[in-house]
């Protein structure tokens, strides 16, 4: 007779492989599009020229090969970890670390924190070659990388330390809550998760993000005035307006807003702004800007992009996403509450006698829920595309459709987006509708 643990084990591995093969199938479909669509389709003639089209195609092909290999490596790593009872080994290492430091290895909270730290070190090291290749080979080859080796190393170390400083106390608190929470611990866990989300959303922009990038208030001038007018016209409580020097990392461009209630901030990437020259730019920087065509949008286009972003706010898209995520968390914690004493689940991952809470949580989140996560992700992608169309329509209502159209085309060009997609790949992966569909929706007369 097959034991329950074996059933769980087989189920987890089978689903992992099915999911991998499905993603691979979609990637190969899209890979073929990059290989075969080497002529600009007629409908795109006015949007993209031959040269940019081919650059974008080669960039897409490179990214596609990279992600196929990276996914293969990721799946192999996960399967090997499961096959060799990797979690047991990490758990043992965590025990050794704790006792070496002079603590009791049975202290589950400390041991869980040490486990998480060990696992994170392992993940950081195994993914590092991909990260290096992505930045210094792939992005470099296509002219997007702006990071120096020094910046990259410092950035990685900072990211790791900041990540641990946040994650380890949170993990410790989670274990504590499960231990003392009684039958309804999942509710306390949920409230705790909400509080952490709220705190991080508040603290992150002011305290954490500035550790990584430089944020400067957008200087007084035409652009600033127009943005303030736009915000006021739709009652957006604009509190601060920043430019972030994304150009130190890469030349990809973006804009977003954040903040609670009456304290909204808008952040523009300097790479989005064609006419923006940083305050402290030296003459050589400016000369550099003058000698080649600077990427980015002109002011009316930036305003149209912002009108789209503010549409997300006006239509409560952010709030809706947060509510869905919180409901999802409640469900996950509830299921975890039902399963976390279930011995077979731990045996499936090699734990014969112990049932560490953290292991249960990782197994439920990462493996037991993976079919559910795949479906939820797909539904969220569909929802996100809807939201994008709605935000575009909002910008259109504000009379910005002409400039939004131009901005979308320009940003697609600047970021070398390839405008031709396999429909299945697009349906599964694209949180933003393809360029052509957005332009069509903008052009439609109501
Ligand atoms: Zn959007």
Span 69-126, pLDDT tens digits = 999 999 999 999 999 999 999 999 999 999 999 999 899 999 999 999 999 999 999 9
Residue-level pLDDT at 445: 65
The answer to whether residues 91 and 113 touch, using CB atoms and an 8 Å cutoff, is no
The answer to whether residues 29 and 421 touch, using CB atoms and an 8 Å cutoff, is no
Please report whether residue 401 resides in a domain.
no
Please report whether residue 222 resides in a domain.
yes
The answer to whether residues 137 and 59 touch, using CB atoms and an 8 Å cutoff, is no
Please report whether residue 63 resides in a domain.
no
What tokens were used for 175?
A: 């274990």
Q: Of 23, 270, 392, 414, which is the active-site residue?
A: 392
The answer to whether residues 245 and 278 touch, using CB atoms and an 8 Å cutoff, is yes
What is the 364 CA–ligand 1 centroid distance (Å)?
Answer: 32
Please report whether residue 255 resides in a domain.
yes
What is the 343 CA–ligand 1 centroid distance (Å)?
Answer: 45
Residue 280 belongs to what domain range? Answer: 213-296
Annotated binding site for Zn(2+): 308, 312, 388
What is the 388 CA–ligand 1 centroid distance (Å)?
Answer: 5
Residue-level pLDDT at 26: 97
What is the 382 CA–ligand 1 centroid distance (Å)?
Answer: 13
Please report whether residue 442 resides in a domain.
no
The answer to whether residues 413 and 40 touch, using CB atoms and an 8 Å cutoff, is no
CATH of the domain at 252: 3.30.2010.10
pLDDT, tens digit only, all 446 positions of the chain: 578 999 999 999 999 999 999 999 999 999 999 999 988 988 888 888 899 999 999 999 999 999 999 999 999 999 999 999 999 999 999 999 999 999 998 999 999 999 999 999 999 999 999 999 999 999 999 989 988 999 999 999 999 999 999 999 999 999 999 999 988 999 999 999 999 988 988 888 888 888 888 899 999 999 999 999 999 999 999 888 999 887 777 777 678 887 777 778 899 988 888 877 665 544 344 334 443 456 789 999 999 999 999 999 999 998 899 999 999 999 999 999 999 999 999 999 999 989 999 999 999 999 999 999 999 999 999 999 999 999 999 999 999 999 999 999 998 888 898 999 999 999 999 999 999 999 999 988 66
Domain count, the chain: 1
What is the 308 CA–ligand 1 centroid distance (Å)?
Answer: 6
Which helix (DSSP H) or strand (DSSP E) does residue 357 occupy?
A: helix 357-362
What is the 391 CA–ligand 1 centroid distance (Å)?
Answer: 6
What tokens were used for 14?
A: 């089978």
What tokens were used for 278?
A: 């940083």
> Checking DSSP bridges between strand 264-269 and strand 238-244, what pairing results, if any?
parallel
Q: Can you tell me the distance from the alpha carbon of 192 to that of 198, in angstroms, rounded to the nearest whole number?
A: 10
Predicted confidence (pLDDT) per residue in 296-315, tens digit: 899 999 999 999 999 999 99
Confirm whether 140 is a catalytic residue: no
Please report whether residue 206 resides in a domain.
no
Q: Can you tell me the distance from the alpha carbon of 192 to that of 440, in angstroms, rounded to the nearest whole number?
A: 44
Q: Of 270, 309, 414, 422, which is the active-site residue?
A: 309
The answer to whether residues 410 and 297 touch, using CB atoms and an 8 Å cutoff, is yes
What is the 55 CA–ligand 1 centroid distance (Å)?
Answer: 25
Closest by CA position to 213, among listed 240, 243, 238: 243
Q: Is 260 helix (H, G, I), strand (E, B) or coil?
A: coil
Confirm whether 220 is a catalytic residue: no
Please report whether residue 284 resides in a domain.
yes
Q: First CA to last CA across the chain, in angstroms?
A: 65
The answer to whether residues 47 and 439 touch, using CB atoms and an 8 Å cutoff, is yes
Mutual orientation of helices 86-100 and 108-133 as an angle, nearest 10°?
A: 120
Q: Can you tell me the distance from the alpha carbon of 53 to that of 49, in angstroms, rounded to the nearest whole number?
A: 6
Please report whether residue 439 resides in a domain.
no
Residue-level pLDDT at 286: 38
């Amino acid at each position: 007779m097959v034991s329950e643990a074996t059933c769980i084990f087989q189920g987890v591995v089978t689903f992992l492989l099915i999911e991998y093969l499905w993603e691979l199938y979609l990637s190969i479909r899209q890979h073929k599009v990059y290989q075969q669509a080497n002529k600009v389709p007629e409908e795109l003639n006015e949007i993209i020229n031959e040269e940019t089209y081919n650059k974008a195609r080669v960039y897409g092909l490179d990214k596609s090969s990279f992600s196929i290999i990276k996914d293969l490596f990721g799946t192999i790593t996960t399967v090997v970890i499961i096959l060799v009872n990797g979690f047991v080994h990490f758990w043992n290492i965590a025990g050794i670390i704790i006792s070496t430091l002079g603590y009791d290895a049975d202290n589950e909270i400390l041991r869980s924190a040490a486990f998480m730290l060990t696992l994170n070190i392992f993940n950081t090291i195994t993914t590092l070659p991909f990260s290096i290749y992505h930045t210094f080979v792939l992005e470099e080859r296509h002219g997007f990388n702006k990071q120096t080796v020094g910046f990259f190393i410092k950035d990685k170390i900072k990211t790791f330390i900041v990540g641990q400083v946040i994650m380890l106390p949170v993990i410790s608190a989670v274990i504590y809550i499960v231990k003392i929470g009684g039958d309804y611990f999942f509710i306390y866990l949920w409230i705790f998760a909400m509080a952490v989300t709220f705190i991080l959303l508040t603290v992150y922009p002011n305290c954490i993000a500035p550790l990584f990038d430089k944020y400067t208030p957008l200087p007084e001038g035409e652009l600033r005035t127009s943005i303030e007018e736009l915000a006021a016209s739709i009652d957006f409580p604009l509190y601060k307006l920043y430019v972030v020097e994304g150009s130190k990392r890469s030349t990809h461009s973006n804009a977003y807003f954040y903040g609670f209630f009456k304290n909204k901030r808008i952040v523009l990437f300097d790479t989005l702004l064609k006419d923006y020259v940083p305050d402290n730019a030296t003459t050589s920087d400016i000369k550099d800007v003058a000698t080649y065509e600077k990427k980015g949008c002109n002011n009316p286009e930036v305003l149209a992009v912002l009108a789209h972003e503010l549409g997300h706010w006006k239509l409560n898209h952010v709030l809706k996403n947060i509510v869905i995520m919180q409901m999802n968390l409640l469900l996950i914690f509830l299921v975890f509450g039902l399963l976390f004493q279930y011995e077979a689940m731990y045996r499936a991952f090699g734990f014969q006698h112990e049932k560490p809470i953290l292991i249960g949580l990782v197994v439920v989140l990462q493996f037991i829920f993976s079919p559910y996560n795949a479906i939820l992700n797909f539904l969220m992608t569909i929802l996100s595309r809807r939201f994008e169309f709605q935000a575009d329509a909002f910008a259109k209502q504000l009379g910005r459709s002409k400039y939004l159209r131009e901005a979308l085309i320009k940003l697609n060009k600047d970021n070398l987006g390839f405008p031709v997609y396999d429909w299945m790949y697009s349906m599964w992966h694209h949180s933003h509708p393809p360029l052509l569909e957005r332009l069509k929706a903008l052009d439609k007369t109501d």
